[in-house]
Amino acid sequence: MNVTFSKAAAPKTGALAIPVFERGMKSKGFAALDKASGGHLTRAAKAGDFTGKQGQKLVITSPGKLPNSHVILLGAGKAGDLSLLKAEDIGGRTIAAIYRGPVKAVTFMLEGFEQDGMEMAQLHAHIAYGARLRAYSFDKYRTTAKKEDLPSLNKIAINSPEASAVRAVFEDLEAVAEGVFITRDLVSEPANFLYPESFAQTCRDLESLGLKVSILGEKEMEKLGMGSLLGVGQGSRRESKIAVMEWRGGKKGDRPVAFVGKGVTFDTGGISLKPGQGMWDMKFDMGGAGAVTGAMAALAKRGAKANVVGLIGLVENMPDGNAQRPGDVVTSMSGQTIEVLNTDAEGRLVLADVMTYAQEKYSPKIMIDLATLTGAIIISLAHEFGGMFSNDEDLCAALDEAAKEVGEDLWRMPLTKAHDKMIDSDIADMKNISNGRAGGSSTAAAFLKRFVKEGVEWAHLDIAGVAWADKAKPTVPKGGSGYGVRLLDNYIRRFHEGE
């Protein structure tokens, strides 16, 4: 997708998009185009009941005397109520209206679209960002789709009086969007193509961005004593892997922030087999690892001034003659033993060893893990929030702020001594499930907490409800959502860069 910026007059071809504040039809930008259309735009707005309310949209085909194929009017709500997130939605909604169909190019006419107290370049760049984020699809396996069902849009033009400043702001945003696309591609990829080895290869390919990438195979993991992770992968024909991506953009010697991701490339449940209905969803059980990978790519692409290391545990959870059994006891890299009562509670087993490795090898001050860890978090928070569990108030506050700013909201969940007690085992140091289903997300978090070292500020983000979008949102098409990339990137930008 080509995104361009200019101050030139409206192009004569393609579609034009105009955001309009509520009852803002007299603004300079709109009025000029309306005049050029011979009053067609105001007539169409009237006939279509378009007043500029937030979220309204009107697609006008053959707009009167204008030579363009379409004019799209977007409601921007009350002047004064605009935020950067709302600006992104305007961009995204525009693309949603025309992405599949004949339109090849769309130009946003933004002259006069501004708000007191908001930098114009920021506002216009975020419209472009929202548009870019929505202009994504995963069509690689469709061979018989009709042309009109596939995207033909290949150009987004921004027409702004501050074109060059908008371009400068957009550069960093585009880096993040590209990280989001890497994650969406990974999350949507079927598990016969995306398995630990092929996922690790995708990480290795990111070396071209300046990341240092290393891969551990099963031999190395055995040497390190990672019985917990290896137990999950032992029923699979595919070799388990850990991929480590390092970005050293900060001061030499500064302890890094560690991102840890659950990368179960397919979760059948293992011997504690899941029901067939809906099992296909479990190709996205690598959403945490996907988010970490996309975030590392985004940080590298925009040259973040911070030290960050991303570690992902890549495993396929399969039932097999060699698979681990319910009741097996495994020894984790930390030395703690685990009674595996349910082989479907495998994510925590994978994360335990990756978290231990992260802390021993990289001594992070802060460690944040992301995982599609529990169905229970969907019962609690639906598909609206990621669940946040943490041992540190300040880290929670920072993540919450970073999340809100980019529209990837988090909700803090309880994690107490009582939850910890619920995973005590009769025969080992802990068990991997508690007795009932009560508080399933909190007991999973309590399990992870047992692998966090003294002094490490840690947060666990359960993203089972948000890694996949069943329904499109303005800036997120259906499918792998890319949730977490913008959040992690913004957290680093806001709290680890800048001095």
Query: Which residues are annotated as catalytic?
Result: 274, 348
For the CA atoms of 252, 353, 345, 240, what is the dihedral angle to 10 degrees? Answer: 100
Can you state the angle between helices 40-47 and 28-36, rounded to 10 degrees?
100
Choose one: 25-33, 39-47, 69-77, 370-378; the region binding ligand BES (CB under 6 A).
370-378
344 binds Zn ion, rule: CB under 5 A: yes
Q: Which residue is nearest to ligand BES (CB)?
A: 375
Cβ atoms of 220 and 357 within 8 Å: the answer is: no
Task: Give dist(CA 281, CA 468) in Å, integer.
Answer: 9
Residues 6+ apart with CB under 8 A from 166: 5, 120, 121, 124, 125, 128, 158, 160
Choose one: 12-20, 234-242, 250-258, 339-347; the region binding ligand BES (CB under 6 A).
339-347
Q: If you search the block for the tokens 């993991």, which residue do you land on?
A: 221
- Of 174 and 346, CB closest to Zn ion: 346
Beta strand residue intervals within 423-463, DSSP E: 430-431, 457-462
Give me the residues paired with residue 60 across strands. 71
Choose one: 108-116, 323-331, 369-377, 446-454; the region binding ligand BES (CB under 6 A).
369-377
- Of 293 and 374, CB closest to ligand BES: 374
339 binds ligand BES, rule: CB under 6 A: no
Contact set for ligand BES, span 453-492 (CB under 6 A)? 464
Written as six digits, the tokens of 264 are 């179960």
Tell me the per-residue interface mask from 25 to 54 with ligand BES, x by CB under 6 A, - otherwise: ------------------------------
Instruction: With CA atoms as reference, report the closest residue to 258 among 313, 312, 309, 203.
Output: 309
- Of 89 and 267, CB closest to Zn ion: 267
Choose one: 44-52, 340-348, 393-401, 413-421; the region binding ligand BES (CB under 6 A).
340-348
Contact set for Zn ion, span 261-290 (CB under 5 A)? 264, 267, 285
Q: Which does 376 bind (CB under 5 to 8 A by kind): Zn ion, ligand BES, none?
A: ligand BES
Contact set for ligand BES, span 248-287 (CB under 6 A)? 267, 281, 285
Written as six digits, the tokens of 208 are 């071209």
SS3 for 349-391 is HHHHHHHHHHHHHHCCCEEEEEECCCCHHHHHHCCCCEEEEEC
- Of 221 and 433, CB closest to ligand BES: 433
88 binds Zn ion, rule: CB under 5 A: no
Contact set for Zn ion, span 426-445 (CB under 5 A)? none
Instruction: With CA atoms as reference, report the closest residue to 185 among 176, 174, 194, 172.
Output: 194
Choose one: 75-83, 144-152, 293-301, 343-351; the region binding ligand BES (CB under 6 A).
343-351
Which letter does DSSP use for residue 315 in this model? E
- Count, residues in the chain: 499
Written as six digits, the tokens of 281 are 């969803």
Written as six digits, the tokens of 34 are 């309306």
Q: Which does 45 bind (CB under 5 to 8 A by kind): ligand BES, Zn ion, none?
A: none
Q: How far is the CB of 483 from ligand BES (least distance, A)?
A: 12
Q: Which does 342 bind (CB under 5 to 8 A by kind): Zn ion, ligand BES, none?
A: ligand BES
Site residues for ligand BES per CB under 6 A = 267, 281, 285, 342, 344-347, 372, 374-376, 433, 440, 464
